[in-house]
């Protein structure tokens, strides 16, 4: 899958810009605050229908304008697609090949982003790792998001009810209704997460081993708030969830909180048997994140037969030379990649025959060198 052309009109600090990226590696360079990340953001927006950093859609509209347009010509193994976004303060619209469409119709088009914030995947709270499981790999199963939304709703409602039972001494009868839904959606989420991880982890381990010159072994394990043995079916997880939850009923009422379930789970990540969060160096944590991100690419390819786009925002050059080389070898002529950096020194040699360097200056983009 690749972007053949991107036209931006009043997107962040770009007024009118056309970009015909290289089919393989694109290095976007320039001083600070020139628009490198904004360019990546526009590509991400095209494919996900939201920004990876703006809280509100209107933030991406150029300050001097009332609306922005992002038009992208995309090519995949199933054909050519023209994706148009029009974003205004009052709302946004999407057209795919001229027909008004919804965001969910973008699901066949994949994009994997690695930005500095993603380092929290290793060093952040369990919530960051659950976010990875729910938003970044959950999409591989079409029913995942629906189940996850239903589950979140049930947890919120159940927590309010627990509070009511405690403060107003209401009857516990209503809890039964929510409990059944909690176990059903919860067991499904855990089951799907385990299924996805069973595919993702072996790929990530292999990539990590390669990126570290066969020096480091990555271990990743799902940490559930329930006591689960390997290989359980969904209804077995349901039963364990129900049994364990009933034992905690009184404590849940006292604390007004649902204490068990996938919203309390985590993913443990270690390198050569040592916990990456507490003991990994910055470079090691970065490599673990990169291995997980690259395994997303491979998993997507395995499931759908095409590689998504890869966006690396300010992260490649924090890796040492050999890890950079290994990364570029993996993606060269296979994955269309966009890499931002203020220091492209030495890249010319590495992207030989397979990339281009672009210069961004105050919202203007120009081809610096093509290889
Ligand atoms: N809605 C907007 N309209 C106009 N300009 C904007 C808008 N939002 C952000 N900017 C400006 O865009 C500029 C470039 O931002 P961007 O984050 O892309 O920089 P960058 O080149 O990636 O820099 P760095 O190397 O520091 O990460 C900033 O100076 C910012 O003020």
Which residue has tokens 């909690």?
182
Task: Give me the DSSP letters along 221-264.
Answer: EEE-SS---TT--HHHHHHHHHHHHHHTHHHHHHHTS--SSGGG
What is the percent of the chain where pLDDT is above 90?
82
Confidence of residue 15 (pLDDT cuts 50, 70, 90): very high
Query: Does residue 1 surpass a pLDDT of 90?
Result: yes
pLDDT of residue 347: 72
- Residue 364 CB–ligand 1 contact under 6 Å: no
Q: Once rounded to an integer, what is the mean pLDDT over residues 232-255?
A: 97
Confidence of residue 247 (pLDDT cuts 50, 70, 90): very high
Long-range contacts of 18-22 (CB under 8 A, 24+ apart): 19/358, 19/365, 21/336, 21/338, 21/356, 22/336, 22/354, 22/355, 22/356, 22/370
Q: Name the more confident of 56 and 320.
A: 56
Q: Go through the domains of the chain in sequence order and give each one's CATH number.
A: 2-110+308-370 (3.40.50.300), 122-277 (1.20.1050.90)
Q: Once rounded to an integer, what is the mean pLDDT over residues 72-94?
A: 96
Confidence of residue 143 (pLDDT cuts 50, 70, 90): confident
pLDDT of residue 371: 63
Query: Does residue 100 surpass a pLDDT of 90?
Result: yes
pLDDT of residue 170: 80
- Residue 63 CB–ligand 1 contact under 6 Å: yes
Strands (E), 64-180: 67-76, 79-88, 91-96, 99-101, 111-114
CA of 12 to the centre of ligand 1 (A): 7
Binding residues for ATP: 30-37
Report which of 49, 55, 117 is spatially closest to residue 86, judged by C-alpha positions.
49
- Residue 84 CB–ligand 1 contact under 6 Å: no
- Residue 295 CB–ligand 1 contact under 6 Å: no
What is the percent of the chain where pLDDT is above 70?
99
Q: 87-96, 104-113, 315-324 — which one is most confidently predicted on average?
A: 87-96
Task: Give me the DSSP letters along 214-225.
Answer: T---EEEEEE-S
For ligand 1, atom 24, name the residue with the nearest CA: 32
324-341 pLDDT tens trace: 888 888 899 899 999 999
Return the HEC string of 175-204: HHHHHHHHHHHHHHHHHHHHHHHHHHHHHH
Question: Which ipTM did the prediction report?
Answer: 0.98
pLDDT of residue 320: 84
Quote the DSSP letter at residue 136: I
Q: Once rounded to an integer, what is the mean pLDDT over residues 100-118?
A: 92
For ligand 1, atom 12, name the residue with the nearest CA: 13
Query: Does residue 217 surpass a pLDDT of 70?
Result: yes
CA of 72 to the centre of ligand 1 (A): 21
**What is the number of the ligand 1 atom nearest to the C-alpha of 35?**
18
**What is the number of the ligand 1 atom nearest to the C-alpha of 61?**
1
**What is the number of the ligand 1 atom nearest to the C-alpha of 60?**
1
pLDDT of residue 241: 98
Q: Once rounded to an integer, what is the mean pLDDT over residues 62-79?
A: 96
Separation of first and last alpha carbons in the chain:
20
306/187 Cα distance (integer angstroms): 31
Report helix angle 173-211 to 144-168, nearest 10.
140
- Residue 38 CB–ligand 1 contact under 6 Å: yes
Quote the DSSP letter at residue 87: E
- Residue 62 CB–ligand 1 contact under 6 Å: yes
Our mutation pick for probing the ligand 1 site, out of 10, 11, 12, 51, counting the most ligand atoms within 8 A of Cβ, is 12
Average pLDDT across the chain, whole number: 93
Query: Does residue 270 surpass a pLDDT of 70?
Result: yes
Phi and psi for 83 in degrees, rounded to 5? -105, 125
Q: How far is CA 319 from CA 201, 207, 303, 316, 327, in A?
A: 22, 15, 29, 6, 10
- Residue 330 CB–ligand 1 contact under 6 Å: no
- Where does residue 63 rank: exposed (0-12), middle (13-18), buried (19+ CB within 10 A)? exposed
- Residue 115 CB–ligand 1 contact under 6 Å: no
CA of 36 to the centre of ligand 1 (A): 8
190/222 Cα distance (integer angstroms): 9
pLDDT of residue 137: 79
Phi and psi for 303 in degrees, rounded to 5? -80, -40
Token pair of 218, please?
């990555």
- Residue 167 CB–ligand 1 contact under 6 Å: no
156-191 pLDDT tens trace: 999 999 999 999 888 888 899 899 999 999 999 999
């Amino acid at each position: 899958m690749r972007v053949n052309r991107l036209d931006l009109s009043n997107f962040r600090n770009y007024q009118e810009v056309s970009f015909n990226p290289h089919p393989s590696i694109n290095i976007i360079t320039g001083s600070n605050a020139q628009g490198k990340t904004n360019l990546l953001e526009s590509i991400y927006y095209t494919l996900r229908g939201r920004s990876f950093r703006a809280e509100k859609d209107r933030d991406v509209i150029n300050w001097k304008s009332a609306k922005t347009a992002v038009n992208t010509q995309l090519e995949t193994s199933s054909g050519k697609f023209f994706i148009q976004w029009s974003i205004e303060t009052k709302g946004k619209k999407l057209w795919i090949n001229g027909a008004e469409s919804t965001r969910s119709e973008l699901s066949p088009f994949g994009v994997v982003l690695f930005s500095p914030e993603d380092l929290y995947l290793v060093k952040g709270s369990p919530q960051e790792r659950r976010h990875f499981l729910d938003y970044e790999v959950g999409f591989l199963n079409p029913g995942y998001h629906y189940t996850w939304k239903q589950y979140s709703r049930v947890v919120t409602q159940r927590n309010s009810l627990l509070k009511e039972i405690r403060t107003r001494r209401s009857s516990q009868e209503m809890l039964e209704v929510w409990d059944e839904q909690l176990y059903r959606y919860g067991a499904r989420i855990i089951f799907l997460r385990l299924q996805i991880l069973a595919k993702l982890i072996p790929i990530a381990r292999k990539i990590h081993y390669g990126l570290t010159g066969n020096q480091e072994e990555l271990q990743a394990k799902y940490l559930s708030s329930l006591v689960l043995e390997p290989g359980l079916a969904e209804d077995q997880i349901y039963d364990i969830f129900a049994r364990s939850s009933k034992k905690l009923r009184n404590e849940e009422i006292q604390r007004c909180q649902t204490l068990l379930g996938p919203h309390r789970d985590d993913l443990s990540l270690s390198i050569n048997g040592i916990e990456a969060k507490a003991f990994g160096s910055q470079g090691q944590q970065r490599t673990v994140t990169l291995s997980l991100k690259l395994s997303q690419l491979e998993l997507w390819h395995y499931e759908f037969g095409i590689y998504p786009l890869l966006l690396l925002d300010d992260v490649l050059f924090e890796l040492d030379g050999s890890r950079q080389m290994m990364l570029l070898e993996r993606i060269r002529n296979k994955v269309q990649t966009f890499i931002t950096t203020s220091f492209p020194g030495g890249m010319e040699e590495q992207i030989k025959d397979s990339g281009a360097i672009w210069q961004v200056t105050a919202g203007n983009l120009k081809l610096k060198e093509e290889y």
